[in-house]
Structure 1
Amino acid sequence: MQTTWNQQLVKKENKSVVFNLIMNHSPISRADIAQKCGLNKGTVSSLVAELLEEQLIYESGPGESSGGRRPVMLLFNQGAGYSVGIDLGVNYILGVLTDLHGNIVITKNEKYINVSFEDTLNRVKSVISSLIDAVPPSPYGIVGIGIGAPGVVNKEGDILLAPNLGWKNVSLTAELENMFNVPVIVENEANAGAYGEKKFGIGQPFDDLIYVSAGIGIGTGIIINGELYKGINGYSGEFGHMTIDKNGMQCRCGNKGCWELYASEQSLLSKANEMNLGITNDVNLGEILLLAQSEEQAAIQLLEEVGKNLGLGIINIIHAFNPQQIIIGNRLAAARQWIEPQVRDIIGRFTLPFHQTDIKIDFSDLSLPSSALGVAAFSTENFLKSKLQMQ
């Protein structure tokens, strides 16, 4: 009998259901899969056979018996392939190599100065190459590369504007795909950070959260009903460029008085450069944090001012979205000791009372590279989706 288009579609959907059950409930038996998804045992066995052949799952020793023969257990083969995730900062490149479950195999963090697009691209290529060199033997090897970029990224992955990098209308996708011969996904780094926190970090228990990426600039990633919200063209979350002072300083984006001019790492460094903090080398966040830890009041006041300004912008986000959780991440999360009290004070004083109910203010775990993990997860999911849709 000829297989119809509808039958093919149903089979693909059923295969995805079976695979997701194995991935999320390993170890699990064929009988338990059939019971959970409502498919008959013959259909489940046929789909499992395909997944075994594709090496996306594997069999382990027998599980506990419920009265008959002990069942063979099925597990997700998280080592079947690996993804690369790159968090492209303004002054750093952070890369991770993950298995298909998001477990980090190796991390590479490199500081750099953005001299030109070409130089930065070459540095990104170098980091990716070093991560690929560390890939363990596997059936599929590298299945994809994800890049989180600090700017406006369209749905095609083009970076339309990255003001803090000085980039306009650039594309990383084609060049990286040609070099590494795997699919490349480019996403806004704050969106990637939000997804990373939701999938692997402190955002896991919440379905409505806003991730505030506070680095050289400020970006926000929005999770609504458990899904990343990107807007009609993919440009959502550019709260760093909302105006909080219409007569304020000129921003690199062309606007005036943008939030990130008052509440970012760059604003902190600019003000520190205007003061005599006793730093002999170039002023950097690490040096300011060391001074604050030594109870240098000027450094503490700078950090507290940034915290207050960060809180002022977050008020608008809370009033707009009424989220369950706000997560403050990226490099300024390292200054939590001095920033958090100011953020909470400002939110407590100026947010409408009923918007303060049931909201959590959290800071990213500094050991979790959420943006890099987020884009690696995008690449992994893209690979798995393509495999499950193949016939």
Structure 2
Amino acid sequence: MRRSISLSPSKRGIFQYIAQRNDVAKEEIQQALQLASSTASRLLQDMVEEGLLLSSGYGPSKGGRRPILYNVNHDYGYIVGIEISRFYATLGLYDLALNAKSLTRWRMDSSMKPEVFIELVAQKISAYCKDHQLSLEQIVGIGIGSIGPLDRTSGVLINPAHFPAEGWANLPISELVAQWMDMPVLVDNGADCAAIGEQLMFRKQGLEAEHLLYINAGVGLRTAMISGGSLVQGSYDREGAFGEMIIRAGDPPILPGKPAGALENYASIPALVEQYKTQYRLGRTGISSTTPAPAQEAQIDFDFLIRELRHENPVVRELFHQSAMYLGIGVANLINTFQPHQVIIGGALISAYKGYSEIVASIAHKYTYNSPLYQAQFMEGLLLEDAVATGAALLVRNKLF
């Protein structure tokens, strides 16, 4: 039987405080949550007896007895985190401290229809349970971080563009997975999940993470913002709205469905493919004599561009360089609006071209308001490609605990 979780607000506060740190003393909890010493002692003792917390040793003495340190009981329950993107899916099994016990990634191709995807998820969760000698009842919930747009409340994917398989439009993914696996399922957009996942890891390492901008550059441009320690969310899921930012008003349309002059026309995978096709028609391929040129324009895709990057194709390299410059201008606009401390940029474009993120940072710094006095710190995330799945698992932990 699956564990029933019901915590008072005070216990939730204690759990969340400890879960975002490592080895916390009662005095620190007391001060942070403004609890009386006797109340803190009683609640901590209750949570240890319930198995939710563990005493993890003793801290340094401050003149008296060494304080007991508390940590989350990793094995109290387990959470599944899932990322759904256009290129690939990731599934992870996490303990309650959000340590990854197992992670699997697979391509999302034209065969990966919803029913195939859900059955594969169920098979992998069963395999994880067998590997780690767990029962399904020990998994307290599933979190899904997905491309949008989506309805967070109902867990419905509305109409994801550029999806390789059919059947994902208006899909109640939360309900379908919950029925198949018989456990709670929460859904949010992938960029938000990545941002809170990275924030958690920053805090665990004692790093500042109160003002953080997360950007994923791939098939589309997806963003999330943490300000004052909290995720900034509007009334409607618009994680892809950054790509609609107009940076070249008056330009002709490039990508179907995108406004003329919108950033995604210049800094996205479909944009790069279309721009190279234009060069191809003009006979400017940049392809060396040792590399066969594509016989047809239809053969030009992102995999082809990656191969040409490895062969130092000057035309492809120039297109990636221009793409990064445009993205840097867009990022500068976000920095000027939100003033983040850190900017994390990930995604397929960053992975494909080694200098991409450096160009984005350089251009963004150039156009940042009051640049000599304020510069956001550009950095690689701590979770990298696992950020969305980890953040999706965190959604569940935050909801239940």
Normalising by structure 2, report the TM-score: 0.78
Partner residue in 1 for 2:147: 150
The aligned counterpart of 2:3 is none
Given the alignment, which residue of 306, 309, 318 partners 1:301? 318
Q: For residue 349 of structure 1, report the CA deviation from its aligned partner.
A: 4.3
Check the 8 A contact 2:215/2:345 in 1, yes or no.
yes
| Distance in 1 (alpha carbons) for counterparts of 2:231 and 2:62 | 41
1:56 aligns with 2:52: yes
CA deviation vs aligned residue, 1:71-105 (integer Å, no higher than 9, x gap): 76543102222222222111211222211222111
Q: Could you tell me which residue of structure 2 aligns to residue 193 of structure 1? A: 194
User: Which residue does the alignment assign to 1:130?
Assistant: 124
Question: Over the residues paired in the alignment, what is the CA RMSD in angstroms?
Answer: 3.6
**Alignment match, 1:338:** 355
Instruction: Out of 276-285 and 105-114, give the one that drifted further.
Output: 276-285
Residues 96 and 270 (structure 1 numbering): CA distance in 2 closer, same or farther, change over 3 Å? farther
Q: Which piece of structure 1 moves more, 181-190 or 22-31?
A: 22-31
Shift of the 347–59 alpha-carbon distance from structure 1 to 2, 3 Å rule, reads closer
Q: Secondary structure at the match of 2:374?
A: coil
After TM superposition, list the pairs within 5 Å mapping 1:63-212 onto structure 2: 74-114=70-110, 119-135=113-129, 136-137=132-133, 141-156=138-153, 157-165=155-163, 168-200=169-201, 204-212=207-215
TM-score (norm 1): 0.80
Unaligned 5+ residue runs, structure 1?
A: 1-8, 385-391
Matched, 1:231 2:225: no
Residue 307 of structure 1, CA deviation: 0.9
Does 2:389 align with 1:369? no
Q: Which letter maps to 1:307?
A: A
Q: 1:30 deviation in Å?
A: 5.8
- Change in Cα spacing, 1:318 to 1:65, as seen in structure 2 (3 Å) is closer
CA contact (8 A) 2:191 2:216 kept: yes
Task: Confirm whether residue 264 of structure 1 aligns to residue 260 of structure 2.
Answer: no
Give runs of aligned pairs for residues 280-359 of structure 1, distance below 5 A.
285=302, 288-335=305-352, 337-354=354-371, 357-359=374-376
- CA shift in 2, pair 1:38/1:343, >3 Å: closer
The separation in 1 between residues aligned to 2:381 and 2:259, in whole angstroms, is: 29
Question: 2-side partners of 1:300 and 1:180: how far apart?
Answer: 46
Mapped to 2, the partners of 1:243 and 1:150 lie a distance apart of 22
1:222 partner amino acid: M
Identity %: 25
Structure 1 counterpart of 2:191, one-letter code: A
Q: Is the 8 A contact 1:333 1:363 kept in 2?
A: no
1:18 Cα deviation from its structure 2 partner: 3.5
Q: Aligned in 2, Cα 1:355/1:14: closer, same or farther, shift over 3 Å?
A: same
Would you say how many aligned residue pairs link Structure 1 and Structure 2? 373
